[in-house]
Every structure is written in structure tokens, then in C-alpha cells.
């Protein structure tokens, strides 16, 4: 989800934060050096300079990008003020005037730097990368269609896929399950997937709870998993101690008619640990959940939404808008 004036990164590239910082410093230092050296530069009158290629991206691409990011916000308008080449080959500076006409009209300027690959931009002063282009969420969407393998409810089709990354011991995750229940009712044609992201450093029982959930899904399928998760979320306080966690998890399993001893044995296997670790890695590769405040996150056809930062009505608007952009039925 993009907020003005900061664009939030939705994809992770190894070492990219350091690169982004260096590029930002290089752009600033280069601009100053260029200005100080200007009087000493000479141009031959005999050899005309070669025409410079136009700065990229085009205004149309920037407009399409911002429409994808912000089109669901009826009060927001923008105007691309400039697209200028920088002294770094292939990198352009884009300046956008943004106006929000809410109860009180607000106007601000967004500046970002477009990369030569045409797929990423760096927001000035924030060292954050975000996917860019006419379809900025497509790469994340494709990745999740291929790799999101958690239990799901709703449609078998992945045309409209809502992937939740959550922690079974996270209080906010428990609170936002009300959102997920409403989404299941409001978007019956959506595929709603649960991916484990246990924040074990702050929720000691979360990995164990996730492991039980994986095994419940193996034994009873997606329907059993979502009943298990609902019971665990409702009785989350019981996870606070080791003994309490055992009682809470076993009770949730028993309620399903499954064997707690069998599920506990399954949860302790290397295969289950590997499955949870793979789900965590998937989130990190997409730059989701790098801090506890980003969980729970919901990825709507590639668009990352931090559930703690939006109202349900706004979330619903975003999903409807994304479905229309992707030309899918909801």
C-alpha cells in the first residue's frame, strides 16, 4: 500500500537498501559537483553534442503507476511536474504534485528516482524501494500464485487471491480475523490463503502453534485448519506459558476430533519446521513482516496491505479496485 508522501516497498532484493542509500548520496553529491564544475566546462564549436535520449519513464507510465497505487482514493489527484535525467546513467528524477481533497485540502510534492530496469523506484530521502510500472504488483502476484501453499478458503481459482501472513500468537492478528471473516463473506469468489509468519522473538509459542496448524491442515484439510486457527485466536491468552500453550493447542485439536498426540508428534518433525521456515522466507523475500508492526499483512493480487493501518471499508475499496484493474470477477 502506498501512502503520501512515502511509497512502501513491496519487494525485497538482496543488499538493495545499501545500494539505494549509496545511489541517493551519489545523486546529491553528483549534483553539487556538477554545479561547481559547470564554469570550467568547454564545448567544441566544431562538433555539435550528440542528442541526449529522453528521460524515462514516460509521463504515461508514471500516471499508470500512480493510478494503480492510488486510484481507489477518490479524494486524491496528482500532476506529474517533471521527469529529468540525473547524472547517473539510466536514473531519472520524477516530481509529482499530489493533492488530497478531504475535509481539509492538503497538497504535497512526491519525488522519486526511477531505475533503469523500469521496475523499481527509490523515494527521495527515505531509501525505500517500491515496485514500479504500469502493473507494479504483477511480480509479487505471480510469486504468490506459484509459492503461497497454505490452507485456503473460497475459490480454487487464483484470479483474485488474498494471501494473509499472520502469527497465531499475535494479538492484532487475532483482532483482524474479523476482517478476514467479512472478506470471506463479501468476496465469495476470492481465494483466501493463510501463510504462517510466527514472530517467535516476541511470541514464544507462535512457532509451535504454527506447527500444530500445519499438521491439522495435513490431517483434516483447510476447513479443519481455519476452525483450529479460530479456536487458538479466541484462546490466545492460554499461549502465554509453556503448559498453557500445550493445553490450549491440544484442546483446539481435540475440538476438531483429531488426536492431540499425533498432531504433537507431527509438529515436531523437520518437515513441518521446513514448511514454516519456507513460509517465513516467502514473506521476507517480498519484504513483508520485517518488523512486528507489519503483521498481519494481506496481499491482494500482489498489493501489500498492512491490516493494522487500514479500516475495513478502505480495505474493501482497495480489493474491489484491484479486482477491476486485473479484470477479474469478485
Q: Other C-beta atoms within 10 Å of 241: how many?
A: 13
Output the pLDDT for position 9: 34
Q: Regarding the domain delimited by 139-325, which CATH topology (the fold level of the hierarchy) does it fall under? A: Glutaredoxin (3.40.30)
The answer to whether the beta carbons of residues 162 and 192 sit under 8 Å apart is yes
Return d(Cα 66, Cα 83) in angstroms, integer.
14
Whether the pLDDT of residue 128 is over 90: the answer is no
Output the pLDDT for position 304: 94
The answer to whether the beta carbons of residues 296 and 172 sit under 8 Å apart is yes
Angle at 162 between CA 157 and CA 164, to 5 degrees: 135
Average pLDDT in the chain: 86
Output the pLDDT for position 43: 43
pTM, 2 dp: 0.83
More confident of the two residues 14 and 39: 39
Domain boundaries, the chain: 16-28+53-132, 139-325
Least Cα distance to 281 among 139, 138, 162, 148 occurs for: 148
Q: Among 125-134, 249-258, 296-305, where is mean pLDDT lowest?
A: 125-134
Q: Among 13-27, 104-118, 211-225, where is mean pLDDT lowest?
A: 13-27
Helix segments in the chain, DSSP class H: 16-37, 59-70, 138-147, 171-175, 177-186, 206-234, 242-255, 260-267, 270-285, 312-325
Average pLDDT of 266-275?
A: 98
Place of cell 484491484: 322
Q: What is the pLDDT confidence band of residue 190, given thresholds at 50, 70 and 90? A: very high
Reported for 74-78, long-range contacts at CB under 8 A and 24+ positions apart, including other chains, are 75/100, 75/101, 75/102, 76/4, 76/100, 76/101, 77/101, 78/110
Output the pLDDT for position 187: 98
C-alpha cell, 155: 475459490
Output the pLDDT for position 314: 97
Whether the pLDDT of residue 28 is over 80: the answer is no
Q: What percent of the chain has pLDDT over 70?
A: 82
Strands 303-306 and 152-154, how do they pair? Answer: unpaired
To the nearest 10 degrees (0 to 180), the angle between helices 206-234 and 260-267 is 140
Output the pLDDT for position 3: 46
Chain centre distance of CA 294: 9
Least Cα distance to 318 among 193, 188, 187, 197 occurs for: 187
pLDDT in tens, 211-229: 999 999 999 999 999 999 9
Output the pLDDT for position 123: 85
Whether the pLDDT of residue 289 is over 80: the answer is no
Whether the pLDDT of residue 280 is over 60: the answer is yes
Output the pLDDT for position 36: 46
Output the pLDDT for position 103: 80
Output the pLDDT for position 129: 78
Q: What percent of the chain has pLDDT over 90?
A: 76
Q: Other C-beta atoms within 10 Å of 313: how many?
A: 8
Output the pLDDT for position 47: 53
Q: What is the pLDDT confidence band of residue 310, given thresholds at 50, 70 and 90? A: very high
Amino acid at each position: 500500500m502506498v501512502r503520501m508522501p512515502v511509497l512502501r516497498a513491496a519487494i525485497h532484493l538482496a543488499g538493495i537498501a545499501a545500494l539505494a542509500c549509496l545511489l541517493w548520496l551519489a545523486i546529491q553529491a553528483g549534483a553539487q559537483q556538477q554545479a561547481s564544475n559547470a564554469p570550467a566546462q568547454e564545448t567544441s564549436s566544431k562538433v555539435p553534442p550528440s542528442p541526449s535520449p529522453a528521460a524515462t519513464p514516460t509521463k504515461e507510465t508514471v500516471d499508470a503507476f500512480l493510478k494503480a497505487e492510488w486510484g481507489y482514493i477518490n479524494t486524491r489527484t496528482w500532476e506529474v511536474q517533471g521527469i529529468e535525467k540525473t547524472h547517473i546513467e539510466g536514473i531519472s528524477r520524477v516530481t509529482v504534485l499530489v493533492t488530497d481533497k478531504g475535509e481539509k485540502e492538503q497538497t504535497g510534492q512526491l519525488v522519486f528516482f526511477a531505475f533503469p530496469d523500469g521496475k523499481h523506484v527509490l523515494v527521495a530521502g527515505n531509501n525505500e524501494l517500491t515496485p514500479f510500472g504500469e502493473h507494479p504488483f504483477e511480480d509479487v502476484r505471480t510469486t504468490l500464485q506459484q509459492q503461497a501453499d497454505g490452507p485456503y478458503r473460497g475459490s480454487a481459482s487464483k484470479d483474485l487471491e488474498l494471501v494473509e501472513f499472520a502469527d497465531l500468537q499475535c494479538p492484532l492478528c487475532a483482532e483482524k480475523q474479523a476482517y478476514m471473516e467479512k472478506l470471506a463473506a463479501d468476496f465469495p469468489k476470492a481465494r483466501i490463503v493463510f501463510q504462517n509468519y510466527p514472530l517467535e522473538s516476541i511470541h514464544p509459542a507462535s512457532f509451535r502453534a504454527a506447527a500444530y496448524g500445519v499438521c491439522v491442515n495435513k490431517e483434516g484439510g483447510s476447513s479443519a485448519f481455519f476452525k483450529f486457527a479460530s479456536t487458538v485466536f479466541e484462546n490466545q491468552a492460554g499461549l502465554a506459558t509453556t503448559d498453557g500453550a500445550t493445553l490450549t493447542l491440544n484442546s483446539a485439536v481435540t475440538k476438531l476430533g483429531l488426536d492431540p498426540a499425533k498432531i504433537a508428534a507431527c509438529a515436531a518433525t523437520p518437515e513441518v519446521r521446513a514448511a514454516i521456515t519456507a513460509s517465513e522466507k516467502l514473506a521476507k523475500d517480498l519484504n513483508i513482516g520485517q518488523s512486528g508492526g507489519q503483521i498481519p499483512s494481506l496481499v491482494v493480487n500482489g498489493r501489500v496491505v498492512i491490516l493494522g493501518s487500514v479500516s475495513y471499508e478502505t480495505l474493501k475499496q482497495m480489493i474491489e479496485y484491484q479486482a477491476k484493474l486485473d479484470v477479474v470477477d469478485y
